[in-house]
Structure 1
Amino acid sequence: MKKIIVSVTNDLTTDQRVDKVCTTLQKNGFDVLLVGRHLKNSIFINRTYKTKRLHLWFAKGFLFYAEYNIRLFFFLLFSKKDSLLSNDLDTLLANFLVSKIQQKKLIYDSHELFSEIPELIHKPFVKSVWQKLENYLLPKLKNTYTVSQGIANYYNKKYVTNFKVVRNLPLKKEVEPHDFSLFNQEKKIILYQGAVNIGRGLELMIDTMPFLDNCIFVIIGEGDVLLYLKQKIIKQYLEKQVLFLGKMTPEKLQKITPLADIGISFEEDLGLNYHFALPNKIFDYIQAEIPVLVSDLPEMKQIVLTYQVGEIIENRTPEELAAQIKKMLKKDFSKTLKTAKKELVWENEEQLLMSIF
């Protein structure tokens, strides 16, 4: 049995893409070990494949990435394996060095344009470091894939590489019965699930809520701007209209998502990473059979146009956005959602994924 070590910088709990990849590899005869990091609030995980969390001194910033890659390098170096799977640029250096030293096959999964993430916009030095690392490593890689055609085209043109596209689609599932006791049944539910970070359009949705008396906005996730958003709704007296449910396990999230009436993905055009983004939450909404409202950005826009499962934001002002949402809530997308959910599932991506491995 071929042994593969998969590495990420998160604590393994909520990374659905990596879990699906690991499960697919295991199903196809690989002995999988997933390596991440341990956080103070990390919860126990029970997977069908092996997992390991590295304990670190540093939790963020340069020292975290440096320490993690050093620890990861030595862990990989002295572990038995036939191949390595690196997820994103922040795990790539350690994997690349070990693959060269020991002549092991390296596969790279780029979840995003890491050097173009909005968090680096106002950090030119940090961005330049990641960019130099990307410039050095990516042209040397042979087995690569990413989440959207836009990112693949960008990398293939810039580095003359051969990135393939394996979209972050959800597993096929049936919609669970709704438990409306979780929310006010008289209100329409607008849902955001994912990282609560800069550039996700959450401020815009909060500013829109005063114009939507019959709606509540539910935010599921954690991130850099969570505290700021909580303070914002207090200042605007929106505590009853905006609910924060925190980070959830995928299993619990799958029971909450079908309760919504609209799922949003309002990413702003802050650099190429968001411009080419194809967030997995869009596919999770579709799998839960709820219509989507998305930014006018190429990848997510194409999904809506192709499958007719929602709408594209027409105007990013609170009043006009509220008017569009009110009209959208009166429309029926049930037939197109049922059709799209059959096609947009992980099971249809597995064959392409395995061709890379």
Structure 2
Amino acid sequence: MKACLLSSIHPCFDVRIFQKEARSLSEAGYEVTLIAVADFQEEVVEGVRIIGLPKPRRRVLRALNWWRILRLALREGADIYHFHDPDLILPALLIKVLTHRPIVYDVHENYPEDIQTKEWIPSVLRGVLSPAFGLFEDSVVRLMDGVVVVNQHLAERFQGRSRVVIVRNYSRLKPFLDTQTPVESQKPYFVYAGRISDDRGIYECLQALESLPDNPAALLCAGTIGHVTNEEFRGLLDGRFHPSFEYLGLLPYEAIPPLFKGALAGLLCFQPTPNNLLGTPNKLFEYMSAGIPVIASDFPFLREVIEEAQCGILVQPDDVNQIASAMATLLSDPEQAAQMGEKGQRAARDKYNWQVEEVKLLSLYQELLAGSDMTPKDEGS
């Protein structure tokens, strides 16, 4: 069976799309093609054939990739198509009409709420576009054969409109358990990996670290740079020296486990935007898999996981003093920090791992390819 995964925005080695879903499908025996943004034309990696798309220099040029994706996807002649971006809804529906093959819509975020925080969209338009896109998405999702979501909140939104399956963003355990050698560092460090933008709270974490006496630790940061308005912090990302901060750029996936393994703690001090309040960041589960404690925003889902696993400290993410206090606690009590890390890793082994989630994805594919009914069902409970 041939599966074709599509993304016009995400890089080809995106953790959810490539490292989890595409690799799991390939390991299950599917012939997998991933069409996504890449700096090469075509390669086979981990059994997945990747067809690269050019990265648009401007947002308005993304439409060029839509039609490239449509042409390439139709050429594949796949048995099932699985797309990952809301701007591919119309091309995906056209693929469905032309091929009569099942279409799966993978919803990573609550996009109507996400629109409310897009700084590049004029504020006067956000209030119109957000509900308008919500209505559009709610109506067209009925035409999808399957909808994959990352949490219960999104499942409830789409329930009754299509075949809905929750496939949570838990991490692959093996890369973290196999890593024995941590990254070398001149002094202890906290770590953040992921998209770097105002709403992720990285600058607040740096301010908290700077407030601690005697410069006791560093903050190592890796990932793509998004919307950053603070000029001082932007300068650090552009390479200006800082004694307690280092931006490592976008690292390959295999470099992440050693980076995490050597850290004092992983930082998840996302700011309280509507989308963040209900999000399920995959880095939480990667920190847990790596066996390090977490300093995280006191949001409902993060609180539920961290309190249950006893694997970290919750803070108000816009309160620099609270973040600093959490850092100081872990610095002053390495035994407590180690216990939190061990408990988090145990919870990842027992519950919060991708091996549990991939079964749901594979079951959905089997049902759709077998022509099963499309009665919505929550498999995430």
Query: Structure 1 residues 246 and 205 mapped into 2: Cα distance closer, same or farther (>3 Å)?
Result: same
In the TM superposition, what are the counterparts of 1:270-309 in structure 2 within 5 Å?
270-271=273-274, 273-309=275-311
Query: Structure 1 residues 43 and 219 mapped into 2: Cα distance closer, same or farther (>3 Å)?
Result: farther
Indicate which of 342, 348, 353 corresponds to 1:341: 348
Indicate which of 241, 244, 249 corresponds to 2:247: 244
Amino acid at match of 1:112: E
**Maintained 8 Å contact 2:313/2:326:** no
Confirm whether residue 355 of structure 1 aligns to residue 352 of structure 2.
no
Indicate which of 53, 60, 63 corresponds to 2:61: 63
**Maintained 8 Å contact 2:3/2:33:** yes
Distance in 2 separating the partners of 1:50 and 1:252: 22
Counterpart in the other structure of 1:78: 75
TM-superposed CA distance for 1:74, in Å, is 2.2
Query: Structure 1 residues 37 and 354 mapped into 2: Cα distance closer, same or farther (>3 Å)?
Result: same
Task: Among all aligned residue pairs of Structure 1 and Structure 2, give the percentage whose two residues are the same amino acid.
Answer: 20
Distance in 2 separating the partners of 1:46 and 1:27: 12
Query: Structure 1 residues 287 and 80 mapped into 2: Cα distance closer, same or farther (>3 Å)?
Result: same
Q: Secondary structure at the match of 1:78?
A: helix
Q: When the two structures are superposed, what TM-score results if normalisation uses the length of structure 1?
A: 0.87
Aligned length: 345
Q: Provide Cα deviations, 1:139-187, integer angstroms capped at 9, x if missing partner.
A: 322311111222222333xx74453211122212215233453x11xx3
Query: Structure 1 residues 151 and 311 mapped into 2: Cα distance closer, same or farther (>3 Å)?
Result: farther
Counterpart in the other structure of 1:264: 267
**Maintained 8 Å contact 1:144/1:162:** yes
Distance in 1 separating the partners of 2:243 and 2:87: 39
Distance in 2 separating the partners of 1:132 and 1:59: 29
CA RMSD of aligned residues (A): 2.7
Amino acid at match of 2:76: S
Report the more deviating stretch, 219-228 or 250-259.
Answer: 219-228
TM-superposed CA distance for 1:318, in Å, is 1.7
TM-superposed CA distance for 1:291, in Å, is 0.6
Report the more deviating stretch, 127-136 or 200-209.
Answer: 127-136
**Maintained 8 Å contact 1:151/1:276:** no
**Maintained 8 Å contact 1:11/1:39:** no
**Maintained 8 Å contact 2:183/2:262:** yes
Q: When the two structures are superposed, what TM-score results if normalisation uses the length of structure 2?
A: 0.82
**Maintained 8 Å contact 2:297/2:314:** yes
Q: Provide Cα deviations, 1:112-144, integer angstroms capped at 9, x if missing partner.
A: 122322226745537456445424422322311
Segments of 5+ residues of structure 2 without an aligned counterpart are 366-381
Report the more deviating stretch, 246-255 or 205-214.
Answer: 205-214
Counterpart in the other structure of 1:201: 201
Query: Structure 1 residues 294 and 238 mapped into 2: Cα distance closer, same or farther (>3 Å)?
Result: farther
Confirm whether residue 27 of structure 1 aligns to residue 27 of structure 2.
yes
Distance in 1 separating the partners of 2:183 and 2:3: 43
Segments of 5+ residues of structure 1 without an aligned counterpart are none
Counterpart in the other structure of 2:47: 48
Query: Structure 1 residues 107 and 11 mapped into 2: Cα distance closer, same or farther (>3 Å)?
Result: closer
**Maintained 8 Å contact 2:269/2:317:** no
Distance in 2 separating the partners of 1:258 and 1:124: 45
Query: Structure 1 residues 254 and 43 mapped into 2: Cα distance closer, same or farther (>3 Å)?
Result: farther
**Maintained 8 Å contact 1:76/1:95:** no
Q: Secondary structure at the match of 1:35?
A: strand
TM-superposed CA distance for 1:195, in Å, is 0.6
Distance in 2 separating the partners of 1:10 and 1:251: 22
In the TM superposition, what are the counterparts of 1:64-143 in structure 2 within 5 Å?
64=62, 66-117=63-114, 118-119=117-118, 122-123=122-123, 125=125, 127-128=129-130, 130-131=133-134, 133-143=136-146
